Amino acid sequence: MPDQQTSPFIHRTGFGLLLLVGAFALAGPALVGVDPAAQSLGDSLLPPDARHWLGTDVFGRSVLARLAQAAQRSLGLALLAALSAALPGVLAGVCASWCGGRIERALVMLADACMAVPGLLLVMLFAAMAPGHYWALYAGLALSLWVEYFRMARAASRPVLHGDAVQASRLLGFGRRYILRHHVLPALAPLLATLLPLSVAQAVLALAALGFIGVGLQPPTAELGVMMIEFFPFYSEAPWLIAAPVTLLVFLVLGMMLLAGNKEHT
C-alpha cells in the first residue's frame, strides 16, 4: 500500500539511486579498469586525488577499483541469497494461505522453528564449517532470510485469496495459474520490491558482521563487508577509506527506503 505522502518524485529518486548502485556494481569494474589486486606499498594510504578518486588502501591498491569489484561481488552474493530465500519463501507463504488446514499449520511450524534460531547464528555455524567459502555464507544467509518472505507472502496473499475478486475468478472457472498471475502476484509485487533491497542490505551487513568476527570471506577478496573490516582500523588516519563502502550501502538503503515510501514492513 503506497503511502499518501510519498510523491512520485521521491519514488523516482529512490529508484534512480538503486539503479545507480546496480549500474556501478555491474559496469564499475570494467569502467575503472584498474586491477583491484595490484599493490604498490609506496603508495600506501594516499588521500583521494585525480589518479585515485577514492584514495588508496594500506597496500596502495586503488579503493575505487576495489569498491567496484566489491559492489559486484557482495551485491551479487546478497542478491542471490535474497532471491533464493524469496522464491521458496513466497511459494511456501502463498501455498500456506491457499491450502490452509494442516499444510498451513505445518509450514507455520517450520517457519517458527527456523525463527527460533537467530539468523546470524545459523550463518555463523555454516561459515565455521567452511571458513572463507562462498557457499557456506550463501546457504546460511538464504536459510535465515526465507522466513521473512514466508510471513509476508502468507499475510499478504490471505486477504487476496479470500477476497471477492478471487472468488469471482474461481466461479468463472479460471485456473490456479490465472489466479496466481492476476491476483496474487500483483498484490505481492510491491511488497517484494521493498523487501528485496532490504534483505540485500541486511545480507551485506551480515557479511560484514561475519567478517568482523572472523568467519566471513577473507582478505584479499574485495567484498563490502571485508572492506569495512580492512578499512576499519584506519578510521581516524584515513577516514575516506571506511566512508567508501559505507556510503555505497547508504545509497542502497536510502534508495530502498525512498522507493518503499514512509513505511516499514515488519
Partner 1 sequence: MNQTPPNPARRRLLNATGMAALAAASGRLLAQTTPRPLLIVSSWEISGLSPAASGYIFTRLQVTETLLGSRDDGTPEPALAGRWQVSADGLEWRFELRPGARFHDGSPVSAQAVLHSLERVRTPPGLLATVPIRSMDAPDGKTLRIRLRSPFVLLGSVLAHSSTMILAPASFDAKGTVREVIGSGPYRVAKLEAPHQVETRVSEYYDSPRPAIGAVRYMAAGRAETRALMAESGQADLAWNLDPASITRLRSRNAVGISSVTLPRTLAVSLNAGIPGLSDVRVRRALSLSIDRAGISRALLREQDLAATQLMPPTLAGWHEPSLPPLTRDPATAARLMREAGWTASPAGWRDAKGQLLELRLQTFPDRPELPVLAAALQAQWREAGFAVKVSIGNSGDIPLAHRDGSLQMGLAARNYAMLPDPTGTLAQDFAPNGGDWGPAGWSSPIVSDALQKLLRGGLTPDEQRAERRRILLALQQELPVIPVCWVRAHVAVNRRLEGVRLDPLERSFRLTEMRWKA
Partner 2 sequence: MSPRHLLHWRGVLLRRALQIVALLLIIGSASFLMVRSLPGDMAMRVAASRYGYDFVGQAAAGAVSQALQLQRPLWQAWLDWFSDLLRLDLGESLVSGEPVWHEIAHHLGASIDLAVVTLLLAVLIGLPLGIAAAWRPGGLADRFMLLFAVTLRATPAFLLGILLMLLLAVHWGVLPAAHDDQGGTLWLPALTLALGLAAGLARISCSALREALASPACEFARSKGLTDLQVLIRHAFRLAALPVLAYLGVHLVLLVEGTVVVESLFAWPGLGHALVHAVFARDVPVIQGAALSLGLVFILFNLLLDTLMLAIDPRQRKPGASDA
Burial 69-100 (b: 16+ CB within 10 A, else e): bbbbbbbebbbbbbebbbeebbebbbbbbbee
Binding mask of the shown chain, residues 59 to 78, with x at each position contacting partner 1 by CB under 8 A: xx------------------
CA distance linking residue 124 with residue 196, whole number of Å: 22
Distance between CA atoms of residues 266 and 191, nearest Å: 11
Query: With binding defined as CB under 8 A, does residue 263 bind partner 2?
Result: yes
Stretch that binds partner 1, among 142-150, 164-172, 189-197, 231-239 (CB under 8 A): 231-239
Taking the chain, what is the end-to-end CA distance rounded to the nearest angstrom? 14
How far is Cα 128 from Cα 106, in angstroms, rounded to an integer? Answer: 30
Tell me if 241 contacts partner 2 by CB under 8 A.
Answer: no
∠ Cα 66 72 74 (to 5°): 90
Q: Give the whole-angstrom CA distance, residue 140 versus residue 123.
A: 4
Q: Which three cell numbers stand for residue 35?
A: 586491477
Cβ distance to partner 1 smaller for residue 132 or 159 = 132
Nearest approach, Cβ of 78 to partner 2 (angstroms)? 13
Q: How far is the CB of 252 from partner 2 (least distance, A)?
A: 7
200 contacts partner 2 (rule: CB under 8 A): no
Residues that bind partner 1 (CB under 8 A): 37-39, 41-42, 44-45, 58-60, 131-132, 214, 218-220, 232-237
Residues that bind partner 2 (CB under 8 A): 3, 5, 108-109, 112-122, 124-125, 128-131, 148, 154-155, 201, 205-206, 208-209, 212-215, 225, 228, 232, 235-236, 242, 246, 249-250, 252-254, 257, 262-264, 266
